[in-house]
Amino acid sequence: MTDMRAALYDRFGAPDVLYVGAVPAPEITSDQVLVRVRTTSVNGGELTARAGKMRLVTGRRFPQRLGIDFVGEVTEVGSSVTGIAAGRRVWGVLGRSFGAAADYVAVHPRKIAPAPANLSDAEAVSLLAGGTTAMTALRDKARLQPGERLLVRGGSGGVGSVAVQIGALLGARVTALAGAGNLDFVRDLGAAEALDHRTHRPSDLGRYDVVLDTVGTEQRAYRRLLAPGGRMVAIAFDIDRIGASLGYIAGSVVHGAQRVRFFSGNPTTSQLVELARHAEAGSIRPVVDTVRPFDEIADAHRALEAGGVRGKHVLRLT
């Protein structure tokens, strides 16, 4: 095996810059496994990177890669790896790097776990990055408690659709902001209240113990909605005002408990195992918006940019 397919782009720009091309297949080290990727999904950070708004992080060397999550089959195991055999169906998240949108990915065992047996490959990958991010944000960062009031911005998206479910699972009263066409959808996921984000401004809303921000704009206005002892967790920043947005997040530490907690997901095997357990129990369900063949990745990016998404846009490689 020498070459494989991968999603690539040779310049920053609109979805039209994307293509599926040939790159060298990865060679694993002794402490890695090789996974044949069956499905991956499109995440918001990839749109930002492709547009060139994260070039200080991604650099300017081309071609650049895409994809952070994957479901597939282990095909090769490093000599020092134990407890994993070729042929196992797994899911995983690369964390803070791209490259999962390809036929094969080389990963450390701590980045993968057995995929939920009751979910298809498309269903499983739709739950992965959003599920681990929402679980970390609400349980570990915000320490959401039963009976607390939770506001989820972007309640129908890849992270928000799982956050609504996890919030309800943890016993919170969930309010979700979403587009008008998705209000019944987020109520069905477990939101006690669903509001149109276009007609309900922050000043129209009440007080919340926890605010989960998956959008990144107007963070100052949404932080003002926190009740005494409230916590705000952000997984996004304003991509059109990156310096000001990140500066506000960093400066919010002066507000003590009401600072904006920002993090980038980097899940471990234990988190993947826990998420799989919830999926197999039916307490968290996947939400698939569309499933497309791999060579339609540009269409998937266009669809996510158009908004109104319900869950995830999935790409199928096999």
* Strand blocks (E) in 154-252: 173-178, 193-196, 208-213, 226-234
Residue 1: predicted pLDDT: 62
Q: Which pLDDT tens digit goes with each residue over 125-175? A: 999 989 999 999 999 999 999 999 999 999 999 999 999 999 999 999 999
311 Cβ contact list (under 8 Å, min separation 6)? 126, 130, 156, 157, 158, 161, 286, 287, 288, 289
**Considering only CA atoms, which of 198, 148, 151, 140 is closest in space to residue 172?**
148
pLDDT at 209 over 80: yes
Model pLDDT, residue 245: 42
Which whole number is the average pLDDT over 41-61? 88
Query: What confidence tens digit (pLDDT) does each residue in 282-291 have?
Result: 999 999 999 9
pLDDT(44) > 60: yes
Tell me how far apart the alpha carbons of residues 316 and 37 are, in angstroms, rounded to a whole number. Answer: 9
Domains of the chain, each with CATH number or no CATH: 3-126+267-316 (3.90.180.10), 130-262 (3.40.50.720)
Instruction: Quick: pLDDT tens for 92-108.
Output: 999 778 999 999 999 99
- Which run of H or of E encompasses 251? helix 242-251
